[in-house]
Amino acid sequence: MRAYAVADVFTDVPLQGNPVAVFTDGQGLSGDAMQRTARELNLSETVFVLPGEDGANARVRIFTPAIELPFAGHPVLGAAFVLGQRLGSDTVALATGAGIVEVALRRKDDVVVFGEMAQPLPTWEPFAQPDELLAALRLERSALSIEVYDNGVRHTFACLEDDAAVAGLRPDLSALGELGQVGVSCFAVSDGARVKTRMFGPGLGVAEDPATGSAAGPLAVHLARHGRTGFGQRIEIHQGAEIGRPSTLFAQVDGTHERLERVAVGGGAVIVAEGRYLID
């Protein structure tokens, strides 16, 4: 029986945000067993914790119900909350497939209530199938150019005119899935630094994600690069309301158009369950 905890991430309210299962001891499990467990739990992601290396407190493997990911935001933050609470540490360094990610933790009454991760710096290029993407989203256009960012996970973005347009999306998920292993975020910006977004990832094994930490950093980069926000400006991202899991993420990119220096994404989390699972 393998011990695990479930954390609702990017919220401080139980049964909101994005749930992640964190198995605190994944030693001896095969990748196939991990994948089958993630499929069984059917959460956006499931994390398996392994002994640390190269200065990291732990190594993590991250699985959606369909594939293993080198990096993902809410699983890293959720794992840091679980481990940080047990270790009593204010910083947790996790080795991922995209490198070591450090998470700074903040406590209230000895309970971890907020974490901020320094994400891998993304690369970007034009998305190869913009017309197919818009057709699958049932959109005529995006207000900004459609590019794909890669920070260990590939994400592309479509900019809509307002929150109502984002909320009203009814994409063709089958057609989106044919675009491959890429997360598709549709967003609108209001009040300068408030962003409403929805992320569809059928190619990643997730129809719609309640909160996508790995997309939040690249979204902050995308907005700063195209002049919708400023470098060094903190943005507040709202996601998940349409599927009954409202979430709030905070993101900031430091640097210039020529050189990114740091991409940070943070939010709250609350541990809502602990138990044991028969895997072996």
Give the span between the Cα atoms of 230 and 117, in whole angstroms: 20
Q: Are β-strands 111-118 and 123-126 bridged in parallel, bridged antiparallel, or unpaired?
A: unpaired
Which tokens is 127 given?
A: 């998305």
Helix, strand or coil, per DSSP, at residue 101: strand
Give the span between the Cα atoms of 159 and 146, in whole angstroms: 8
Residues 161, 223, 179, 98: is their CA dihedral positive or negative?
negative
Task: Tell me the backbone φ, ψ of residue 264, rounded to 5 degrees.
Answer: -120, 140
Give the span between the Cα atoms of 247 and 257, in whole angstroms: 29
State the DSSP H helix or E strand holding residue 60, giving kind and residue range, or none if neither: strand 58-63
Burial class (CB in 10 A: 0-12, 13-18, 19+), 173: middle
User: Which residues are known to be catalytic?
Assistant: 45
- The 8-class DSSP code of residue 124 comes to E
Give the span between the Cα atoms of 219 and 250, in whole angstroms: 11
Give the span between the Cα atoms of 271 and 57, in whole angstroms: 20
Helix, strand or coil, per DSSP, at residue 132: helix
Residues 18, 82, 113, 91: is their CA dihedral positive or negative?
negative
